[in-house]
Chains A and B, each alone.
Chain A
Amino acid sequence: MKIVVCAKRVPDSAAKIRLAADGKGIDPQGVEQVISPYDEIALECAVQLKEAGTATSVTVLSLGPKESTKDLRKAMAMGADDAVLLIEDRPFRDPTATSEALIEALRELQPDVVFCGWKAIDDDSSAVAGLIAAGLDYAYASFVVKVEGADGGLRVSREVEGREEVVMVPTPCVLTAQRGLAEPRFASLRGIMQAKKKPLIEKPAGGGENASELVSLTEPPARAEGRIVGEGAAAVPELIRVLRDEAGLL
């Protein structure tokens, strides 16, 4: 079973985000870029499936700038066998064009399983994995929290509101990883040394036109300053008045 993990380079969740001057992107200055955490969970699960003998190989596929090679080396240090980077040539690419570029690469790679995070944490679109499944006519299971090898496919547990659903998914398929599926490992020194020698192919990203265009990015409104209404029991009447008359909560 051959697995391809789609991994996106995104700003670290702890980074302080500032908008770029054109209002259509973020200022990359001083912002650390990492593999989107849910993609990293998918990668960890794929590597564990390989270690368990369920998968035979794990390829990591990314669409992003040239600098993404650093993320792909890290993915290989964590256990992926090889990597493909589709080098981005546009300032903005929507989910449709993203999935088209990935589908072109996936048609060549011929995986049994495509593994993505359930969303990338930069744009939260949560659309690409579904578009890939539709484009390739693969089976699809989202919000996966457990995967086991089974005859003819995979037995996966999905997180559903208030319960867990177990489904049999035939291969080829697309899965999206939810938190709890696996705990990404820290790359070991042995892994880092091996990653140097693993193949990393770079080629231009394909895909058609964007189906949607980014109009603008705006920062969320600043939170209004808090107010201290008093101290101890003496503050209670005023607090109740504020909650009732001003906030309308009581």
Chain B
Amino acid sequence: MAYAALDFYDVNELLTEEEQMVRDSVRGWVEERVMPTIAQQFTAGTFDLKLAKEAGELGLLGAHLEGYGCAGMGQVAYGLICQELERGDSGLRSFASVQGSLAMYPIHAFGSEEQKQKWLPPMAAGEAIGCFGLTEPDFGSDPGGMITTAKPVPGGWVLNGAKMWITNGSIADIAVVWAKTPDGIRGFLVEKGTPGYTAPDIHGKWSLRASITSELVFDDCKLPEDAILPGSTGLKSALMCLSSARYGIAWGAIGAAQACYSEALEHAQTRIVYGKPIGKFQMVQNKLVTMANEITKAQLLALRLGRLKEAGKAHHTQISLAKRNNVHMALDAARNARDMLGASGITDEYVSGRHMANLESVITYEGTHDIHMLIVGMELTGLNALGND
């Protein structure tokens, strides 16, 4: 049966024709090119680089950026791309988020003209892959404590330290790495193959398996002078990248939830227990209605946030609220869908178990659920529960 995404409040009508076309095109591509093999990729723990190239050809990478081969779409169109990619798999959406918002965006926003010319066109085309190194083994929610350093030396910089949980790490041609300098935290472009730079993969994951996660290790890694992103000014620059990515995640989570809902609904209508479809039981209806209820709220939240962002009025705490709400919603939906599927739900013939496992990462990365609560809490109360001030 063809995939039909829940749209209980006709949110579709609030989208421009162009936005609808973007969504439909990505949905069609995911259906035809991603769905047939994604369960195998997840099981094998591999990411299909062909998909990166195809996503580039469609213009999905860095779609919200202007110029340099990027599509220059609006924020809602970018959100819809994330939604449809994550309906396929959170790993695929993670790839696109990292490529577009965490690697291309900082080059676009803080890079020199030469850096933009060199990297953005091949990255938009999916020919060059990017990654983003901020989190460290001992500094996750408090990135400002990082110990990776970039020491100025004659003719350039020397990088020492390690970054952890880096999506696309070992497949990246270019890493955007944040390090402490005598002038504070700055961003650097580190090319694959630079002596002193290695990216060993993290194995044994049971989440985001169809996505590469690595460590980045810098051991007296010598960088040229022009490796620095000249426009980057402190931790704030890195957090701006995260705001862009988190916004996309708030949309992506809707796609994962819609996929789970669609699967659970069909199962509820066709699975016979005690001589009747399980959808005739009140408990099952309660679960389905709760899912539909929460998906609908998440859709309206994401759309409003997108329009605010397009008007240049979105605040980062609003993005935190949306990321927190929507990912939690999606994880609940996936768990409920998995439950409704009974034993079938633990196999890779159904998508809900895979989404459920993936969303455990999504609720953790780019600011955990609890950290986002404290960010919103600080905004509302004016009192900072983070840190020691």
B29 near A192 with CB under 8 A, answer no
Instruction: Enumerate chain A residues within 8 angstroms of B72, measured Cβ to Cβ.
Output: 193
Given A12, A73, A186, A189, which contacts B17 in the complex, CB threshold below 8 Å? Answer: A73
A189 near B29 with CB under 8 A, answer no
Are A193 and B71 also in contact (CB < 8 A) when A12-B2, A74-B21 are? yes
Q: Which residues of A are in contact with B by a Cβ distance under 8 Å?
A: 12, 14, 70, 73-74, 77, 186-190, 192-193, 195-196
A189 near B2 with CB under 8 A, answer no
A196 near B18 with CB under 8 A, answer yes
CA distance A187 to B21 in the complex (A): 8
B28 near A189 with CB under 8 A, answer no
Instruction: Enumerate chain A residues within 8 angstroms of B59, measured Cβ to Cβ.
Output: 188-190
Interface residues of B in 1-49 (CB under 8 A from A): 1-2, 17-18, 20-22, 24-26, 28-29, 32
B265 to chain A, nearest CB (A): 14
A186 near B29 with CB under 8 A, answer yes
B33 to chain A, nearest CB (A): 9
Q: Which residue of chain A lies nearest to B32 when distances are taken between CB atoms in the complex?
A: A186
Are A189 and B1 also in contact (CB < 8 A) when A70-B17, A74-B21 are? no
- The 9 listed contacts between A and B (C-beta, < 8 Å) are A14-B2, A74-B21, A77-B25, A189-B25, A189-B58, A189-B71, A189-B73, A190-B59, A192-B22
- Which 3 pairs from chain A and chain B are nearest by CB? A189-B59, A14-B2, A189-B71
| A/B pair count, beta carbons within 8 Å | 45
CA distance A187 to B18 in the complex (A): 11
Instruction: Enumerate chain B residues within 8 angstroms of A14, measured Cβ to Cβ.
Output: 1-2
Q: Which residue of chain B lies nearest to A15 when distances are taken between CB atoms in the complex?
A: B2
CA distance A187 to B25 in the complex (A): 6
Q: A192-B22, A193-B72 known; 8 other A-B pairs, CB under 8 Å?
A: A14-B2, A70-B17, A186-B32, A189-B60, A190-B71, A192-B18, A192-B25, A196-B18
Most buried by B among A189, A190, A192: A189
Query: What does the 1/0 interface line of B42-80 toward A look like (CB < 8 Å)?
Result: 000000000000000111100100000001110001000
Instruction: Enumerate chain A residues within 8 angstroms of B57, measured Cβ to Cβ.
Output: 188
B206 to chain A, nearest CB (A): 32
Q: Which residue of chain B lies nearest to A34 when distances are taken between CB atoms in the complex?
A: B24
Instruction: Enumerate chain A residues within 8 angstroms of B60, measured Cβ to Cβ.
Output: 189
Q: Please report whether the interface of chain B is mostly helix, strand, loop or mixed according to DSSP.
A: helix
CA distance A186 to B28 in the complex (A): 7
Instruction: Enumerate chain A residues within 8 angstroms of B25, measured Cβ to Cβ.
Output: 77, 186-189, 192
Instruction: Enumerate chain A residues within 8 angstroms of B1, measured Cβ to Cβ.
Output: 14
Interface residues of B in 329-348 (CB under 8 A from A): none
Instruction: Enumerate chain B residues within 8 angstroms of A187, measured Cβ to Cβ.
Output: 21, 25
A193 near B18 with CB under 8 A, answer yes
Q: Which residue of chain A lies nearest to B26 when distances are taken between CB atoms in the complex?
A: A186
CA distance A77 to B63 in the complex (A): 16
A16 to chain B, nearest CB (A): 9
Instruction: Enumerate chain A residues within 8 angstroms of B29, measured Cβ to Cβ.
Output: 186
B268 to chain A, nearest CB (A): 17
Instruction: Enumerate chain B residues within 8 angstroms of A192, measured Cβ to Cβ.
Output: 18, 21-22, 25
A73 near B28 with CB under 8 A, answer no
Instruction: Enumerate chain B residues within 8 angstroms of A193, measured Cβ to Cβ.
Output: 18, 71-73
CA distance A14 to B32 in the complex (A): 14
B54 to chain A, nearest CB (A): 9
CA distance A189 to B58 in the complex (A): 6
CA distance A70 to B25 in the complex (A): 13
Instruction: Enumerate chain A residues within 8 angstroms of B2, measured Cβ to Cβ.
Output: 12, 14
Instruction: Enumerate chain A residues within 8 angstroms of B32, measured Cβ to Cβ.
Output: 186
Instruction: Enumerate chain A residues within 8 angstroms of B18, measured Cβ to Cβ.
Output: 192-193, 196
CA distance A82 to B21 in the complex (A): 17
CA distance A14 to B380 in the complex (A): 48
B184 to chain A, nearest CB (A): 37
Q: Which residue of chain B lies nearest to A192 when distances are taken between CB atoms in the complex?
A: B21
Instruction: Enumerate chain B residues within 8 angstroms of A195, measured Cβ to Cβ.
Output: 21
Q: Which residue of chain A lies nearest to B56 when distances are taken between CB atoms in the complex?
A: A188
B12 to chain A, nearest CB (A): 11
CA distance A187 to B327 in the complex (A): 29
Instruction: Enumerate chain A residues within 8 angstroms of B20, measured Cβ to Cβ.
Output: 70
B36 to chain A, nearest CB (A): 15
Instruction: Enumerate chain B residues within 8 angstroms of A196, measured Cβ to Cβ.
Output: 18
CA distance A192 to B2 in the complex (A): 24
B138 to chain A, nearest CB (A): 40
